[in-house]
Chain A
Amino acid sequence: MSGGDRKKRADRGEGWEEAGAEFYQESYPGEMDLDHVLQKDPHHLATLLPSKHTRTTTARKKDTKATLRRRTSTRSYCGTVRQNTTGVNNEVQVSIMPDLSENLSNEERTWEEIMKLKTLPVSMAEKKEMKARLLSAETFRLQGLDQLRWQKKKCCLRLKFYYNQINSFFSIWELKLRRLEKDCGTGIVSFFTFFKSLIFLNYAMSWFIIKLLVIPVYFLQKHKIEENDIAADNDNSTEIIDFCPIIYQNISNSAELNFDVGTVFSFIQGTGWIQSTPLFYGMYPAESIPLFNTRINLAIIYLVVLMCYHAGFFIDLAKKFKKSFKQRLLKNQGQFYLYCNLAFSSWDFSIASKKAALARHKSVFSLVREFLKIQRQKDDKQHQTTDESCKLLVIRFTVNLIVLLIYFCSAAIVYYTIQHCTLMRDVTLNYYQTLLNEYLPAMTIVTLNHLIPLIFNYFIKFESYNAFCTQHLSFIRAIILRLLLVSVLFFSIFTVASCKPNKSECVSSSCKTPLCWEVYFGQQIYKLLIFNLVVEILLTFFINFPRKLLASHMSNNFAQFIGNQTFNVRKHILDIAYIQMICWSTAFYAPLLPMLTTFVLFITFFLKKFACVVNCAPSASLYPASELQSLFVFVLSSFYIFSIIPWAYSVLEIMPSKSCGPFRGQPSVWLIFSQALHDFPSWVKMFAQFCSSSWFVMPIIVTLVLLLYYYYSVSIANQKMVLVLKKQLILEGHDKQFLLNRLSAFIRQHQEKHKAMARSVDTPRIK
């Protein structure tokens, strides 16, 4: 900006400043401007409207200072209007600059202004100049408390700034993920970021369990052995309950850790020596620990720690759910701009590779067409003949029947496999046969998990849904399948476990309940977890990787068909949530399983990344980051709720085995809580009783329901209001246009009249 310009501006601006420098004044041009513009072109009237006016300048030529509407409300900027008389386009331009005459500012205000400069859409040179002007202006020094407060504020902001810098610099894998962003776009990266945070949460929660439960118990055991265990032997009780733990201990001790093939096999199967490690429930003693003068039953600690583990995940999920729920609400209320979003935020500015860019173009293109097609179909639906719709209905019904049938068959297969394996356990087998027998249920479940969705995908084509429905439906079917198969496993375990043994036996012999069913439960899930990982590794390196090689080295159609694969994020989300779910469902019976899961998830992370970077071509379908995250949260939270069911059922209903674990000899795990309540002081008891009484619960429920209803009606009312306001806006727009048209017509008329008059005055003179 030249000096002359500024001078001019200052001259013209004076009038306004004297008048008190308010926002709206900048927007209304002086009458001279109006006349000038109107004389040139009445159609340009619209550019003079206040709403347009503040922005007209942002995209203008170099001597223009831009304004942001949101900035106009701050008083320290004063608008000055000037007319560019030399320019070819005679337009009114607005400039904004720090108002120096009104500069009563103190240090704090100046500093704030400087910090705000970065939001202005002007070039660096101008920003620098503004800053210099702000700095050179006289400022009051802050005194006393104000000074202190300002320093504190400044310091906090600085610290926050540096914290952000350091945080982004040190965050693990951040750089690698950034590099991924250049090739895959932000959607996929957000998937990995979410996955990463899940791993960290798992890690933190498993350390929580280890610190509060596993380590204390380990030292307790050591301490006990060092003391002496004569006391236990002297106990001459004849009750069967006291013998059961000894039997179990003998069995566990017989499988000592000696390094041979068997050790490895028992490690893989989760049997033998690994049973007596803290990994499984069976090893935890039914003791009480001395703590602050009182003795606390270990069972209580066990229960509380594992409930905290679940609660930790619950809080995290609730937080994430809240975030994604807001988005979902917007989408469902129809306040979501589908097409606008597609147009303005579907291009990822961070994409930096040619291949990814082409893929992105293609995906945006196909997405647009898909949306338009759906809309057309919706319009066509009214014209559809009944014949066609009937035919479609029959097809969809048949396919759903087939899907149900497949569900039933796969559940039956899993059930009978488990039965078969239980029977085979009594037969003596060599190492390999035992391994196979032990892993058969897990193998069946995991294989079906991966195979059946392929069949579903084949059938779903006949249903002729649109692309989005197809995606959603196949995803939901896959979720149901996984839940179904794993619940068959739970079911068969619980039927065995819930057999009540006679008084004279440790376990029910008629049901062939294992000596410690909790450990048996843990083992089954342990095997499922391990085999799931093995399949992931096999799929990634030995099936999909060769496919990729095939596709990249051979160019015939068949190889391309076999080898080309895209990164199907939905499937991967399901894979991860599945691992998490089986961990949640069993963490209570295997306290170290969360640690193992963290490890498994960690490996899975790299497998998925390998799949994304090496195996797959840049994704042809567009995954918006927000949608992926809300999908992830949705799957995780539904799995969480599902995993709570078997846990809650086993805790509340099934009798703990007599021979192992901290709850041995109790009729149910939950009872230990009510027993512990007896030892608490009376006010705690009173409080607990009050909380669980209907006097307390009923009002709360009623209040909640009322609140829910209130917010529901408020939201309905707001929705209506939005609609009304929208309509009003449109009407206003019409009014505005109408008035503008009338005004410009009037002005034109006026001008013509003038001209005509001038002519009529002129003509007689000539004559």
Chain B
Amino acid sequence: MGQAQSQFSEEELQDYEDLTYFSKREVLKVHQKFKALAPEKVGHNKNAKLSMSKILQYPELKVNPFGERICQVFSASRDGDLTFEDFLDMMSVFSSYCPKPVKAEHAFRIFDFDGDDMLGLSDLRQVIDRITGPQHLSEQELQHFIQNILEEADLDDDGALSFAEFEHIIDRAPDFARAFSMHL
């Protein structure tokens, strides 16, 4: 840890502690994890930008069906490449101290594949496709499922879930905060 410590100044760490849900100790731990993804690159430059494929080596993201999407959402340059600060942002959102509304905000962005700020039919289709993984629901089942989702939560009947509707769902989902977490 000694080396990692020397890479950050005290002010930087204080900034990170104020702006994320981590303590200084945990920030250093996150950095270690980040460094483990590409030791030589990060060793040179603590805030190096790692490509999406490198980031996806992180065990939780590797098996996560939304891995690429997560990278895109948290990447400051929007291309999926993450700097350490982006990575720290991501881990902060996924930490267990992060409150549910903040998690919901990011979850919405992750699930909103086409970026139109609504979870439309195509978004829902993608989400379902990704969580069922290698098995695929038949077209009819998929339609049925989406229809059920919209029936439950689409309050204004416009065929898509807005953020307010999504927030409402999350409010009623007892397991969401726990499921939407990655531990250090």
A contact set with B: CB distance below 8 Å? 51-52, 55-56, 58-62, 68-70, 114-115, 117-119, 121, 123-125, 127-128, 131, 161-162, 164-165, 178, 181-182, 186, 190, 327, 330, 335-341, 343-354, 356-358, 360-362, 364-365, 368-369, 372, 375, 624-626, 726, 729-730, 732-734, 736-737
What would 10 A/B residue contacts be, using CB atoms closer than 8 Å?
A58-B109, A124-B86, A165-B26, A186-B175, A344-B166, A350-B60, A351-B60, A365-B133, A730-B156, A733-B158
The distance from the CB of B66 to the nearest CB of chain A, in whole angstroms, is 7
CA distance A372 to B128 in the complex (A): 14
Q: Which residues of B contact A736 (CB under 8 A)?
A: 156, 158
For A52, give its contact among B101, B117, B128 (CB under 8 Å). Answer: B117
Q: Which residues of B contact A726 (CB under 8 A)?
A: 155
5 additional contacts (CB under 8 A) given A55-B117, A349-B182: A162-B23, A343-B131, A350-B60, A358-B133, A733-B156
The answer to whether the Cβ of B144 comes within 8 Å of any Cβ in the partner chain is: yes
Closest 8 pairs (CB-CB, A-B): A733-B156, A361-B133, A124-B85, A357-B63, A626-B174, A352-B59, A123-B76, A345-B176
The closest CB in chain B to the CB of A164 belongs to B97
CA distance A341 to B173 in the complex (A): 6
CA distance A190 to B20 in the complex (A): 26
Q: Which residues of A contact B131 (CB under 8 A)?
A: 343, 346-347, 361, 364
CA distance A56 to B117 in the complex (A): 6
The closest CB in chain A to the CB of B83 belongs to A124
CA distance A379 to B168 in the complex (A): 28
Interface residue ranges of B122-158 to A (CB < 8 Å): 124, 127-128, 131-135, 137, 141, 144-145, 148-149, 152-153, 155-158
Check A361–B59 contact: CB distance below 8 A: no
Q: Which residues of A contact B18 (CB under 8 A)?
A: 114-115, 117-118, 131
Query: Which of these binds chain A: B1-9, B36-44, B48-56, B87-95?
Result: B87-95
CA distance A222 to B33 in the complex (A): 60
The distance from the CB of B123 to the nearest CB of chain A, in whole angstroms, is 10
Check A335–B172 contact: CB distance below 8 A: yes
For B137, give its contact among A123, A186, A368 (CB under 8 Å). Answer: A368
The answer to whether the Cβ of B64 comes within 8 Å of any Cβ in the partner chain is: yes
The distance from the CB of A364 to the nearest CB of chain B, in whole angstroms, is 5
CA distance A121 to B90 in the complex (A): 10
Q: Which residues of B contact A127 (CB under 8 A)?
A: 19
CA distance A335 to B174 in the complex (A): 12
CA distance A632 to B64 in the complex (A): 29
The answer to whether the Cβ of B21 comes within 8 Å of any Cβ in the partner chain is: yes
The distance from the CB of B27 to the nearest CB of chain A, in whole angstroms, is 11
Q: Which residues of A contact B173 (CB under 8 A)?
A: 337, 340-341, 344-345
Check A338–B152 contact: CB distance below 8 A: yes
Check A344–B133 contact: CB distance below 8 A: no
The closest CB in chain A to the CB of B89 belongs to A124
For A347, give its contact among B101, B148, B158, B179 (CB under 8 Å). Answer: B179
Check B169–A337 contact: CB distance below 8 A: yes
Check B86–A350 contact: CB distance below 8 A: no
Check B78–A61 contact: CB distance below 8 A: yes
Check B132–A365 contact: CB distance below 8 A: yes
Q: Which residues of A contact B106 (CB under 8 A)?
A: 121
CA distance A23 to B16 in the complex (A): 29
CA distance A123 to B87 in the complex (A): 10
CA distance A22 to B65 in the complex (A): 41
Check B137–A346 contact: CB distance below 8 A: no
Check A340–B145 contact: CB distance below 8 A: no
CA distance A348 to B94 in the complex (A): 11
Check A336–B76 contact: CB distance below 8 A: no
CA distance A346 to B66 in the complex (A): 13
Check A730–B183 contact: CB distance below 8 A: no
The distance from the CB of B33 to the nearest CB of chain A, in whole angstroms, is 12
Check B157–A734 contact: CB distance below 8 A: yes
The distance from the CB of A133 to the nearest CB of chain B, in whole angstroms, is 13
Question: A350 with B134: in contact, given A372-B144, A733-B157 (CB under 8 Å)?
Answer: no
Q: Which residues of B contact A56 (CB under 8 A)?
A: 117
Q: Which residues of B contact A124 (CB under 8 A)?
A: 16, 19, 76, 85-86, 88-89
Interface SS of chain A: helix
Check B105–A330 contact: CB distance below 8 A: no
CA distance A118 to B16 in the complex (A): 10
Q: Mark B112-127, 1 if CB is under 8 A from A, else 0.
A: 1001011000001001
Measured as residues with beta carbon below 8 angstroms from the partner, the interface class of chain B is: 35 or more
The answer to whether the Cβ of B32 comes within 8 Å of any Cβ in the partner chain is: no
Q: Which residues of B contact A61 (CB under 8 A)?
A: 78
CA distance A375 to B141 in the complex (A): 11
Q: Which residues of A contact B175 (CB under 8 A)?
A: 186, 341, 345, 624-626
Q: Which residues of A contact B145 (CB under 8 A)?
A: 339, 343, 368, 372
Q: Which residues of A contact B13 (CB under 8 A)?
A: none
Check B105–A344 contact: CB distance below 8 A: no
Q: Which residues of A contact B34 (CB under 8 A)?
A: none
The distance from the CB of B131 to the nearest CB of chain A, in whole angstroms, is 5
Q: Which residues of A contact B63 (CB under 8 A)?
A: 351-354, 356-357
The distance from the CB of A177 to the nearest CB of chain B, in whole angstroms, is 10
Check A186–B179 contact: CB distance below 8 A: yes
CA distance A337 to B155 in the complex (A): 12
The closest CB in chain A to the CB of B163 belongs to A55
Check B163–A349 contact: CB distance below 8 A: no
Question: A128 with B183: in contact, given A56-B117, A182-B59, A732-B156 (CB under 8 Å)?
Answer: no
The distance from the CB of A619 to the nearest CB of chain B, in whole angstroms, is 15
The distance from the CB of A183 to the nearest CB of chain B, in whole angstroms, is 11
Check B19–A131 contact: CB distance below 8 A: yes
The closest CB in chain B to the CB of A190 belongs to B178
For B162, give its contact among A51, A178, A330, A734 (CB under 8 Å). Answer: A51
Check B85–A123 contact: CB distance below 8 A: yes
The distance from the CB of A126 to the nearest CB of chain B, in whole angstroms, is 8
Check B169–A368 contact: CB distance below 8 A: no
The closest CB in chain B to the CB of A623 belongs to B175
The distance from the CB of A668 to the nearest CB of chain B, in whole angstroms, is 46
The answer to whether the Cβ of B15 comes within 8 Å of any Cβ in the partner chain is: yes
CA distance A640 to B105 in the complex (A): 42
For B149, give its contact among A70, A182, A343 (CB under 8 Å). Answer: A343
Check A375–B76 contact: CB distance below 8 A: no
For B174, give its contact among A70, A327, A340 (CB under 8 Å). Answer: A327
Q: Which residues of A contact B153 (CB under 8 A)?
A: 337, 340
Question: A368 with B117: in contact, given A347-B179, A349-B179, A352-B63 (CB under 8 Å)?
Answer: no
Q: Which residues of B contact A162 (CB under 8 A)?
A: 23
The closest CB in chain B to the CB of A175 belongs to B183
Check A361–B134 contact: CB distance below 8 A: yes
Check A59–B115 contact: CB distance below 8 A: yes
Check A62–B105 contact: CB distance below 8 A: no
The distance from the CB of A489 to the nearest CB of chain B, in whole angstroms, is 38
Question: A358 with B134: in contact, given A336-B172, A340-B152 (CB under 8 Å)?
Answer: yes
Q: Which residues of B contact A70 (CB under 8 A)?
A: 101
CA distance A124 to B175 in the complex (A): 28
CA distance A165 to B95 in the complex (A): 12
Question: A345 with B127: in contact, given A337-B173, A340-B149 (CB under 8 Å)?
Answer: no
CA distance A182 to B153 in the complex (A): 31
CA distance A335 to B171 in the complex (A): 11
Question: A346 with B124: in contact, given A118-B21, A123-B76, A365-B137 (CB under 8 Å)?
Answer: no
Interface residue ranges of B55-88 to A (CB < 8 Å): 59-60, 62-66, 76-78, 85-86, 88
Q: Which residues of A contact B94 (CB under 8 A)?
A: 349
Check A69–B163 contact: CB distance below 8 A: yes
The closest CB in chain A to the CB of B84 belongs to A124
Check B134–A349 contact: CB distance below 8 A: no
For B102, give its contact among A51, A119, A362, A734 (CB under 8 Å). Answer: A119
